[in-house]
Structure 1
Amino acid sequence: MFDRLIEFLNEAGYLGIAVLMFLENVFPPIPSEIIMPAAGFGAGQGRLSLFGVIVAGTGGSVAGALFWYYVGKWIGADRLRRWAGRHGRWLTLAPRDIDRVDRWFDRHSGKAVLLGRLVPALRTLISVPAGVFGMSLPRFLLFTTLGTALWTTLLAVAGYLLEGQYRIVAAYLNPITNIIVGLVIAAYLYRVATWRAT
């Protein structure tokens, strides 16, 4: 798969990187932990510029984050409260919990979005509460872009420096991503099993 991805990125260039990073955020076909090191490897071979790779990866990823931000905005806090009232067990939230989360997000939204964009598996999810709880679009874009640029830069530079061994990046990050996803699923299932409407 790595070799095919390299071939695709060599042919599609910056637009291909942006499209893959957009899709990775909307419906992950290939994780960024593979896309960006492969693109960085292409830059290391002189086929692309490292700066262009980082800009394309960041742009595509931010566009994908915007998609989920607007999904969250469409849901909104009021609708989420109604859903929590009807389907609290499956959301693992009661209507009063929405107000608590709303207050917490008002205080910590910048840090939550910035750091969330650096955590595999949570990178996409953090955009939804930003939209739900009304984080302003300029503020969301600022912190999303900062976090995303840092993430894509780290991955692209790793691929650039490791050159032929860029697969090492994915080899280390993929298990970490799987562990985080597994913990999130386990925590959700535990909350569903032990949820009480109080």
Structure 2
Amino acid sequence: MVEMIVNWAIAVLGKTGYFGVALLMGLESACIPIPSEAILPFGGYLASSAYTGNKLNLVWVVIWGTVGGTLGSLFAYLLGAYGGRPLVEKYAEKLRLNRSHIEMSDKYFEKYGEKIAFFSRLLPIIRTFISLPAGIAKMDLKKFLAYTFFGSLLWSIVLGYAGYIMGQNWTVIRSWLHIADYIVVAAIVGLIVYFYIKKRKKNKAKA
């Protein structure tokens, strides 16, 4: 199923160029399961010298990827802000989205606060769904847009440039990122356990 979505996304991007980059990144950020790990590296490849067709410009790939990601995130934010949890759950059910992913994003937002809207753009799964709890919590919209824009910009630069450098081997990036995802998750779990143990020791010392 994932491969079918990826292949469809690549076909759309190959035909529509910058508009396709913005559209697909917007859909991903609006919680539609289209992996940016395929969109942006392929856009970078289309901008590279390894591609012999009508080339895109890497700077514009990054810009449109960032704009699309920000607008898609805004849609998800508004869904949470004006529809509340009932509408979010209804939306998830209709699109058959994984509820556990949304619940995970909820926990991260509650634990780390508003700044997770920026850092989540570099985290697996959470980057797609974090806008929903931000909207439900009525996070300041200007701050949300600023964090989202700069987080999406960083993500677009990293993936777009990686695809540009890798050229025809851009698909390798996806397997690398899956490994990186596991490393990031392991690091986060490790930090949570570390701070939990540290807090317990501190509480024992006070007692």
Q: CA deviation at 1:5?
A: 5.1
Q: Distance in 2 between matches of 1:4 and 1:128?
A: 26
- Aligned partner of 2:163 in structure 1 is 159
Q: Are 2:151 and 1:147 equivalent residues in the alignment?
A: yes
TM-score of the aligned structures, taking structure 1 as reference length: 0.68
RMSD: 3.2
Deviations 1:49-72 (A, max 9, x none): 001000111111111111111122
- How far, CA to CA, are the matches of 2:33 and 2:130 in structure 1? 19
SS of 1:21's partner is helix
For structure 1, list consecutive stretches of 5 or more residues without a partner in the other structure: 81-89, 92-97, 181-198
Q: Following TM superposition, by how much is the alpha carbon of 1:121 offset from its aligned partner in structure 2, in angstroms? A: 0.7
**1:112 CA displacement:** 1.2
> 1:1-198 alignment to 2 at 5 Å?
6-44=10-48, 45=51, 47-76=55-84, 101=110, 108-109=113-114, 111-174=115-178
Contact 2:40 2:156 in 1 (8 A): yes
* 8 Å CA contact retained: 2:29, 2:129: no
1:124 CA drift (Å): 2.2
Q: Do the aligned partners of 1:33 and 1:174 also contact (CA within 8 Å) in 2?
A: no
The unaligned stretches of length 5 or more in structure 2 are 89-98, 101-106, 186-207
Q: Which protein has greater RCO, CA pairs closer than 8 Å, 6+ apart?
A: 1
- Structure 1 residue 177 displacement after superposition: 5.1
TM-score (norm 2): 0.66
Partner of 1:184: none
Identity over aligned pairs, percent = 36
Q: How many residues align?
A: 159
